[in-house]
């Protein structure tokens, strides 16, 4: 017992005489807060509130004095004897007496069920108030309206549910008398006229009637319907809780709520509000005060919140009362949906304090939550106007003015205007505008389309395949169904959900707390699977490395010809003769040398996989009317294909343009030699794309070896490198053993491998087919978003087995966008791949997913259950 308790004559739960706790009438029981578990009672009897108060007492935290009437005996509180025993026991616990002038006491009756549910009866407070003592109580509080408002609510409910006064009469009286004191007088008058007895002055009789009212409300048809809607038993019992309501001056008393963590920073910093006077269900607006006004009680509140966090291992919320500057907890629980930053910071704090281990801290934060922290989100209120729903192609959220061309995007962005690039589909020529825009919206394409891949690489939110979207550059309009928007109109989009809204919405700023970096560092120590990034430029590499990438798993050299560089590769493909082609190749080699030099410098000593040119031919050809002359237009027309994704691309293009890969390889090896001269030696891997025949790989490998020899002869530097291939076709997977004879590594290009295994066009099928398939249950997820373990995954597993049977030390990785999907990462981990590679901004997600996979596998092997 504390000194304050002794001075006040208060009893602690362990000092309560049995005679007070156990009324003599059989079957009646009063359980002081803190004694429920000692008596072997659980939530079915104590209710959630009784259990919570038991926990608080066990932790040594200050609680409001009170007793529980277990659910099985709740009806006994309606009897005067039990009610009087409850009043006497609470008076003993509180060290005050009802009717005492100097330190007045009232009662509150509350109810709780075995689980958290909706529809519980409201609390009935101010039990013990009478017309005779109300004036003295108001004088102590100093705020008359607070007492009368709560008293009126209690009298109204008791009148209807315990004294059988018709609710319509009570409602009419309340409507006719808005002033709180007059309401009480009107209600007491109605009870005197229409009830079988006047409203009692005796506190025990008031408590008995209050218990009858609460149980009557709980047994009402409306309450039973509520339980049915929640799939709860109609006869579900509730425990009743009688609490001390200690009255004190408003300047030193009040009530409030608090949470343990700051919602924006996630750090431990109690936040909440405090109200003066008697606790009300709906405090008057604009009357709350900050917690720092609690003076001496603030320190105890902070201690209570910290203690609860360490006990519950979760951000917590509490309801509390302050009387004469002393704080007591009314309720406490783990926050149901704590801010994500709070969960991250708490996980690290608990691990640093030794309350949990680092593995548990990592397991607490999911890969999806990591992604949520890394990208801005729309702040939705429910009143937004949804324009269209497309495919969530790249996470994040943004708002900006519609632009319909890359040129316009660059022009407005240069002036500081935020723009959203809207197009039917994007091409390499649109990349500068995509990078200048804050977001991208397309009417076609899927999550593996050009727009999606570029947006993810740049960290821009994107929505693709927005059905019904028609962009008209000439008219300057965008039609979405019946709605017509004009260039310059504002839209907001959410790349995580695929939703596009009209107007400018509020966007939360992305910015994970530093504790996320700590968690990811711990995760790195737990995972087996390496994590690299798909990065094509030095800037992207720098971003990826800052986000924790261990190297570059895919450098797409064709992406170095986007935008202003597009004419370089176009000149090679459309050259009129050999001389023109050689001249174009020379210019290409010089440009790539500078690009590679910057890229390798940014990579440092890490591994980097450079894929030689692989892009569908149509991405490089000029659109109608864009050719330099009629002859070039004619050559371009001759090269256009009906199905360019399966046409002249990858190694096939290189075998027809035999100087293409040697030019790229020489530029790469020369750049490596230049960078090595500065002391930086990247671990270089050269990858041949879209191979289906071992002969294709052997021929392309000869090109690369010849380039290495040429550079060595010219510079005297023998560049160390691995040569490998991308497994993108089912035939390549089936012939993995033969390909492994020529390749030192494989990288599974799961975007194309999925496309070719299913026979799905990744640019068209998602919007038109996959959504329907998922609705009908044919597919659980888009196979372009989540690796298909039964078809595509089976091919990868077969390729892994056959490749390792020929070359046991072959390095194996995944470089499709599946490398950033947590479930796909777990599958790759199970197969024993060496690494996954994904967009730079998904690297932290992949790091966490790989750690979760490794931890889960260890627990599965040990048979432990969490």
Which residues face 423 on adjacent strands?
442
CA distance 124 to 152: 10
Other CB atoms within a 10 A radius of the CB of residue 563 amount to 17
Catalytic residue of the set 49, 241, 375, 450:
450
Clarify whether 450 is annotated catalytic: yes
Which structure tokens are listed for 541?
């590499």
Number of H helices, E strands in the chain: 33, 30
Residue with tokens 């894929």: 611
Judging by DSSP bridges, how do beta strands 31-32 and 66-69 pair with one another? antiparallel
Residues 6+ apart with CB under 8 A from 651: 614, 688, 689, 690, 691, 696, 697, 700
Residues 6+ apart with CB under 8 A from 542: 602
CA distance 467 to 452: 16
Side-chain-side CA neighbours of 717 within 13 Å: the count stands at 17
Catalytic residue of the set 345, 555, 815, 828:
815
Q: What is the CA radius of gyration of the chain?
A: 36
Other CB atoms within a 10 A radius of the CB of residue 643 amount to 9
- Crossing angle for the helix pair 822-831 and 367-374, to the nearest 10 degrees: 130
Comparing CA positions, the residue from 280, 162, 152, 154 lying closest to residue 220 is 162
The three-state DSSP-derived secondary structure of 112-164 is ECCCCCCCCCCCEEEECCCCCCHHHHHHHHCCHHHHHHHHHHHHHHHHHHCCC
User: What are the CA-CA distances from residue 23 to residues 16, 66, 86, 567, 742 (Å)?
Assistant: 13, 16, 9, 94, 89
CB 93 within 8 A of CB 65: yes
User: What does the DSSP assignment read for 14-67?
Assistant: GG--HHHHS-SSTT---EETT-TTTTT--HHHHHHHHHHHHHHHHTT--B--EE
Q: Could you say which DSSP state residue 77 is in?
A: G
Clarify whether 790 is annotated catalytic: no
Which residues face 198 on adjacent strands?
none
User: Which positions are annotated as active-site residues?
Assistant: 450, 815
């Amino acid at each position: 017992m504390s000194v304050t308790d002794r001075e006040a004559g208060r009893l602690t739960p362990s000092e309560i005489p049995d005679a007070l706790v156990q009324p003599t009438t059989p079957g009646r029981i009063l359980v002081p807060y803190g004694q429920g578990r000692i008596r072997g009672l659980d939530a079915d009897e104590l209710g959630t509130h009784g259990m919570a108060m038991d926990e608080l007492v066990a932790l040594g935290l200050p609680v409001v004095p009170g007793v529980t009437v277990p659910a099985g005996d709740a009806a006994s509180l309606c009897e005067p004897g039990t009610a009087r025993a409850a009043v006497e026991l609470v008076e003993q616990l509180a060290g005050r007496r009802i009717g005492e002038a100097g330190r007045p006491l009232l009662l509150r009756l509350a109810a709780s069920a075995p689980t958290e549910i909706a529809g519980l009866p409201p609390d009935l407070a101010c039990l013990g108030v009478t017309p005779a003592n109300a004036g003295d109580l108001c004088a102590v509080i100093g705020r008359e309206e607070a007492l009368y408002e709560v008293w009126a609510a209690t009298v109204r409910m008791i009148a209807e549910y315990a004294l059988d006064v018709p609710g319509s009469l009570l409602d009419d009286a309340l409507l006719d008398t808005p002033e709180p004191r007059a309401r009480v007088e009107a209600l007491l008058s109605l009870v005197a006229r229409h009830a079988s007895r006047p409203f009692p002055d005796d506190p025990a009789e008031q408590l008995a009637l209050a218990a009858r009212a609460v149980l009557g409300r709980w047994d009402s048809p409306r309450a039973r319907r509520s339980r049915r809607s929640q799939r709860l038993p109609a006869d579900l019992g509730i425990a009743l809780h009688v609490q001390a309501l200690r009255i004190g001056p408003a300047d030193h008393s009040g009530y409030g709520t608090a949470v343990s963590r700051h919602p924006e920073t996630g750090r431990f910093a109690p936040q909440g509000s405090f109200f003066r006077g008697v606790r009300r269900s709906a405090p008057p607006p604009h009357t709350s005060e900050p917690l720092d006004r609690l003076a001496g009680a603030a320190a105890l509140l902070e201690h209570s919140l910290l203690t609860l966090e360490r006990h519950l291992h979760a951000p917590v919320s509490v309801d509390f009362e302050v009387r004469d500057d002393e704080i007591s907890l009314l309720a406490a629980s783990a926050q149901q949906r704590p801010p994500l930053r709070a969960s991250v910071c708490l996980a690290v704090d608990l691990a640093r304090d030794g309350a949990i281990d680092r593995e548990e801290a990592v397991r607490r934060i999911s890969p999806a939550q990591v992604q949520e922290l890394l990208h801005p989100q729309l702040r939705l209120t429910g009143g937004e106007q949804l324009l269209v729903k497309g495919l969530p192609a790249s996470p994040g959220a943004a708002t900006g003015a519609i632009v319909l061309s890359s040129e316009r995007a660059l022009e407005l962005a240069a002036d500081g205007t935020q723009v959203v690039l809207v197009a039917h589909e994007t091409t390499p020529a649109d990349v500068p505008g995509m990078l200048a825009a804050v977001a991208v919206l397309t009417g076609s394409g899927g999550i593996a389309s050009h727009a999606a891949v570029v947006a993810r690489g740049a960290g821009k939110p994107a929505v693709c395949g927005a059905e019904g979207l028609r962009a008209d550059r000439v008219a300057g309009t965008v039609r979405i169904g019946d709605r017509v928007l004009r260039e310059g109109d504002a839209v907001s989009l959410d790349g995580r959900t695929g939703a596009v809204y009209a107007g400018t919405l509020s966007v939360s700023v992305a910015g994970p707390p530093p504790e996320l970096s700590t968690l990811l560092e711990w995760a790195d120590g737990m995972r087996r699977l390496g994590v690299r990034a798909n990065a094509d430029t030095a800037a992207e590499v720098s971003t990826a490395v800052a986000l924790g990438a261990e190297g570059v798993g895919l450098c797409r050299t064709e992406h170095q010809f986007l935008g202003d560089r597009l004419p370089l590769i176009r000149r090679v493909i459309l050259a009129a003769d050999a001389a023109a082609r050689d001249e174009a190749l020379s210019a290409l080699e010089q440009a790539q040398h500078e690009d590679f030099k910057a890229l390798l410098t940014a990579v440092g000593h890490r591994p980097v996989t450079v894929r030689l040119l692989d892009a569908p031919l149509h991405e490089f050809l000029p659109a109608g009317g864009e050719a330099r002359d009629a002859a070039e237009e004619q050559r371009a027309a001759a090269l256009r294909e009906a199905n360019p994704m399966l046409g002249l691309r990858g190694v096939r293009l290189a075998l027809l343009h035999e100087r293409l890969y040697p030019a790229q390889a020489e530029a790469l090896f020369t750049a490596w030699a230049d960078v090595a001269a500065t002391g930086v030696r990247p671990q270089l891997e050269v990858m041949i794309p879209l191979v289906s025949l071992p002969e294709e790989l052997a021929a392309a490998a000869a090109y690369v070896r010849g380039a290495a020899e040429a550079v060595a002869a010219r510079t005297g530097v023998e560049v160390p490198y691995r040569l490998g291939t991308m497994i993108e076709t089912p035939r390549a997977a089936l012939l993995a053993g033969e390909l492994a004879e020529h390749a030192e590594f494989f990288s599974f290009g799961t975007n194309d491998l999925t496309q070719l295994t299913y026979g799905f066009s990744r640019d068209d099928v998602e919007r038109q087919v996959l959504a329907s398939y998922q609705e009908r249950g044919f597919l659980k997820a888009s196979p372009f978003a989540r690796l298909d373990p039964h078809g595509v995954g089976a091919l990868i597993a077969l390729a892994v087995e056959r490749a390792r049977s020929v070359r046991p030390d072959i390095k194996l990785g995944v470089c499709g966008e599946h490398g950033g999907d947590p479930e796909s990462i777990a599958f790759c981990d199970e197969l024993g791949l060496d690494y996954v590679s994904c967009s730079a901004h998904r690297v932290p997600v992949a790091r966490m997913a790989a750690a979760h996979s490794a931890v889960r596998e260890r627990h599965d092997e040990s048979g432990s259950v969490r």
